[in-house]
Structure 1
């Protein structure tokens, strides 16, 4: 995804104190402003690019089996918490990746695509849903979390049918701590916003929270959109002196990937107090003028530093992070007319580069920054790439996978070189896949590597065959074939061995696209039942758990799994069962 420069800070929350004589109550709410209206002031132009990323929990452990949606495609994260869309149609100015996992709030990242065909990178940390409290929806009530309090009026909670809910309503809540180093991985979007004048601005946050309502049986509830919920949030100690007396409120618009101004909050003591009429992600933010910054980061060997976190710090010590793309480039918003500090840390958190830059009054390309890296803080690969006859490969690329994250090194005059930031305390599973684009040949080798420099000469000898998936559904034959379409094979490992599975995903690159997701419990020759099977086609969605998968041929990484499938699948529009059949030949990665 792209390495956006996201601007943040944030505000926490606190219990309403009865002794506060300026307390905002249901009968004495703060003043509010109307939400912004009109078309968002940002281009909706589509562009073809690749997107990959990592999904983790609060302890930085990978989350496997999370559903990732981007453009018209979706897939599951693998055992490394990684995902990859190789070529999809996304919005150039504001592409959005959404991650869904039971027990967590949605993780959402917005970013600017750096270039057509360029693979972007994002890292997303999911917030667990925690119960803040329960109240009688008919009577209303007061809910106090560890650092927040919320006042509900009677009968303002509705069910899915938009009728007043009569049972116990549960508030699930997550506080997004502004002082965490990984705040940029947690918060939704990239803190670009549309204000009440329909202007695109950037935000410095003094508070962020995620809110949802559930019924007795876990069903999703919502507010009526008419009555207010009053909240009070404590301002973090490091931000209290600079926190404005009145601050705009912003909610996150998941359809645009941008924050949207709606209302305001008042500073009372060490807290902000305000009201909201609907629940989502909410943010207390000051806005500031922005320019777009591009910059490229390379190591001392002139290799692009791909998928690398770049920190931008303002003079008021507020910071944000963006991630470089496959070419080591960032593209994102920074404050106009301010000098900032650009910092890069290795995977162990040690600063390896820091430099003052700016100020900029207009959109700027700051050029290339070269960074000297300790060999023990990186994985470096280099060597020759030859054909089966020993001749130098003149056109191609070496695809590199490190613990599920992909990198690419172009082959120049028969040689390749790449540097990847790592932490000196860990080893990684590395796969090198040289591709000879002239002869349409490749090879694959996998090994374990600790940080350091590695010389690996490679040969591209195996013919590259297209991956294909065909299906017959309701009289319609559909064929997916690479490279015209996207077909991916991935392995998903759970803590429970019986929950391990493989996933074949196929999607057309056109919009709207047809797509298929098929889980296999194993890739051994034989017949089994797919744990999950879904198809989206011609505006219809189909799901099933009674589709038989027959594997006729398999192999190791770089080879192909082949077979067929047949059974019944449920059409969601109407609920009828319809037959489905097809075949597949997919390269194992």
Structure 2
């Protein structure tokens, strides 16, 4: 008798077609146990009917704001200056060239190795964020704690392709069935960019992020730090994540209305089902803070979690636990820092957290409070080469230095003498090392240098060695193709180091950026087809006031006239100038030499949309 009115409502002609479609997609699927099928159908129909009773969201009735936390996030917003570099790959772990990378107020493009580098960026010390964007992929977002101001930090990001899960009529609503998940949309729930109901076929792009994956640390957004509904900072153990995005028939971006719920069912990874909680908090990812935020919960039904969401983002079914801050230093058996190395911390329940060491071999992050963990070091093939139990810690912990014995097949070891032009030992300086686009450096001590770089036995890499004699202001550049192994390479620093400069006249004021007081950089990358090289000159002032930075993108570095692909000047008051300019290159060369030229034209000032003439010159060392 209790269910009679409910099923009378279901027989209304408005829902007959929907239930037929839903039944064929859900009830007939074999991966829901028979005892749960009715429960899943009943849950979804209740959600559908209750959602349809709600007031329609239109441009005059905007979506609700969904932010369960109150007040500022419980994390320091202190800013520091540090470098950031990393590698971007696709799902096959192949490098992705031409991806846009954003950190702080700077952006760059990955090169042919999928590599990028920011020499100095202003970022949040406790939660710095790097965002990677490329057409056809969901954004890749990495959050990390800066180990120390001025040091190069390292991230690795694997982008997820936007795979079409299915389409549905936005006016009528419908069900989309992905490989391991299903989603229910109610009628008129989807809005366009103007917050008006979208009429037509909507496409759901979906990607599942599996905590069981060996690449989980490189795929997942953030670093598993989160803000719960009590505005507390906690750590998470994931039982499954998903990325969701809606598009219209012509590719325009759509979104749920923020009032009506989208019901989802997501299969729990096989090895996690026994320990998966009966009810688990839901978390969405805040791309601006780099933290997960608690919003709602999901219920375990058979082998799946069932829940509802009101907006699309990265979503996560996670258990939370208390944590403490942790740091440690990792060196090889010759006491060389293990820079940019993957570190894994595993709990007794086999869930793990991850991080990468900085240029000095230091890693900083969070570990479970009052639990013993296993600390592991991974090579670039993902193989564990070191493992040790540590903890428990009840307060913030400095675990000290770990020395790791490295198999010769898992590292590229470089050492040798560095001399001046007359053969004397260099007493003060360093050797810059670039391996397939990733930059390392090691100090010259008593005329010698040595470094150890974790590699994978997958063939030779392009290695560029650049010794610098800081006393004589001289340097040199040598390039090798080297497979993993031990190598002695004696170097000589003979070429005179010249400063890099970019000077411009804008609105009657001349400004000159000069290294090393200012950051003046040359970078290069290739398009997806690896047939077109794009070059960028950029500069940033380290002193307050005046210009913040300038960026010029070139289509080539051959001598002669050309037109810039892009030119922008950003001011510290928020205004900026942008336009393509005439470029004349008067001198070019290889890595270690200098690119020289001039530029001129008119730029648009924003805000205001006024036009201003600009001219200038550059002399920038080619990296």
The normalised TM-score by structure 2 is 0.88
Relative to structure 1, is the Cα distance of residues 49 and 425 closer, same or farther in structure 2, using a 3 angstrom cutoff? Answer: same
Q: What is the match of residue 523 of structure 1?
A: 557
Q: Report the CA distance between 1:468 and its aligned residue.
A: 1.6
Alignment check: 8 A CA contact 2:224 2:353 kept: no
- What secondary structure sits across from 1:487 in the alignment? strand
What do the CA deviations read for 1:397-451 (whole angstroms, capped 9, x no partner)? 1111101001111112222110001122310111111122233322211111111
Q: Is residue 586 from structure 1 mapped to residue 620 from structure 2 by the alignment?
A: yes
SS of the aligned residue for 1:514 comes to strand
Q: 2:386 aligns with which of 350, 353, 376?
A: 353
Of residues 16, 24, 46, the one that matches 1:27 is 46
Deviations 1:71-103 (A, max 9, x none): 111111111111111122111111111111111
Cα distance in 1 between the residues matched to 2:507 and 2:26: 59
In the alignment, what sits opposite 1:174?
Answer: 207
Do residues 231 (structure 1) and 264 (structure 2) align? yes
Structure 1 residue 16, shift from structure 2 partner: 4.4
Query: RCO greater where, 1 or 2, for CA within 8 Å and sep 6 or more?
Result: 1
SS at match of 1:533: strand
Aligned residue for 1:501, secondary structure, equals strand
Q: Which residue is 1:124 aligned to?
A: 157
Correspondence 1:470 to 2:503: yes
* Aligned twin of 2:539: 506
Pairwise CA RMSD = 2.2
State how many pairs are aligned.
573
Aligned counterparts of 2:312 and 2:353: Cα–Cα separation in 1: 25
How many angstroms apart in 2 are the aligned matches of 1:572 and 1:144?
A: 46
Q: Secondary structure at the match of 2:271?
A: helix
Give me the whole-angstrom Cα distance separating, in 1, the residues matched to 2:372 and 2:464: 41
Shift of 1:573: 4.3
Contact 1:231 1:275 in 2 (8 A): yes
- Structure index of larger Rg: 2
Map of 2:4 onto structure 1: none
Contact persistence 1:506–1:517 (CA under 8 A): yes
1:269 aligned to 2:302?
yes
Inter-partner Cα distance in structure 2 for 1:17 and 1:394: 76
Structure 2 stretches of 5 or more lacking a match?
A: 1-24, 29-33, 52-65
Distance 1:568 1:105, change over 3 A: farther
Q: Aligned in 2, Cα 1:472/1:142: closer, same or farther, shift over 3 Å?
A: farther
1:37 correspondence with 2:70:
yes
Equivalent residue for 1:161, pick from 194, 205, 208: 194
| Structure 2 residue corresponding to 1:364, chosen from 393, 397, 401 | 397
Partner of 2:325: 292
Deviations 1:275-307 (A, max 9, x none): 111111110000011111111111111100101
What does residue 485 of structure 1 align with? 518
Shift of 1:258: 0.5
Instruction: Give how far 1:571 is off.
Output: 5.0
Distance 1:497 1:379, change over 3 A: closer
2:38 alignment partner, SS class: coil
More deviation in 83-92 or 456-465? 456-465
What is the CA–CA distance in structure 2 between the aligned matches of 1:349 and 1:205, rounded to whole Å?
20
1:189 is aligned to 222
Answering whether residue 478 of structure 2 is matched by residue 445 of structure 1, we say: yes
TM-aligned CA distance change 1:26 to 1:438, over 3 Å: farther
> Is contact 2:97-2:528 (8 Å) kept?
no
In structure 2, how many angstroms separate the alpha carbons of the residues matched to 1:548 and 1:359?
Answer: 62
| Alpha-carbon offset, residue 574 of structure 1 | 6.0
**Alpha-carbon distance change, 541 to 225 in structure 1, aligned in 2, over 3 angstroms:** farther
1:10 match: none
The answer to whether the Cα contact below 8 Å between 2:189 and 2:197 also exists between their aligned partners in 1 is yes
Equivalence for 2:370: 337
- Between the aligned partners of 1:383 and 1:503, the Cα distance in structure 2 is 33
Structure-2 residue corresponding to 1:5: none
Residue 126 of structure 2, aligned match among 87, 93, 98: 93
Deviation at 1:509, TM superposition (A): 4.3
Q: Per-residue CA shift, 1:195-253, capped at 9, x if unaligned? A: 01111100001110111111222121222211111111111111111000110000111
**Mapped contact 1:75–1:517 kept (Cα < 8 A):** no
Comparing 364-373 and 457-466, the one that deviates more? 457-466
CA distance in 2, matches of 1:26, 1:541: 52
Contact 1:78 1:492 in 2 (8 A): yes
The structural deviation recorded for 1:556 is: 1.5
1:367-411, CA deviations, whole angstroms, 9 ceiling, x for partnerless residues?
A: 111111122221111122222233332222111110100111111
Mapping of residues 3-18 of structure 1, within 5 Å = 16-17=26-27
CA distance in 2, matches of 1:214, 1:575: 32
Partners of 2:412 and 2:250 lie apart in 1 by 49
Unaligned residue ranges in structure 1 (runs of 5+): 1-14
Comparing 392-401 with 254-263, greater Cα deviation is found at 392-401
Helix, strand or coil: the match of 1:322? strand
CA-CA distance at 1:467 after TM superposition: 1.4
> For residues 406 and 530 of structure 2, what CA distance do their matches in structure 1 show?
39
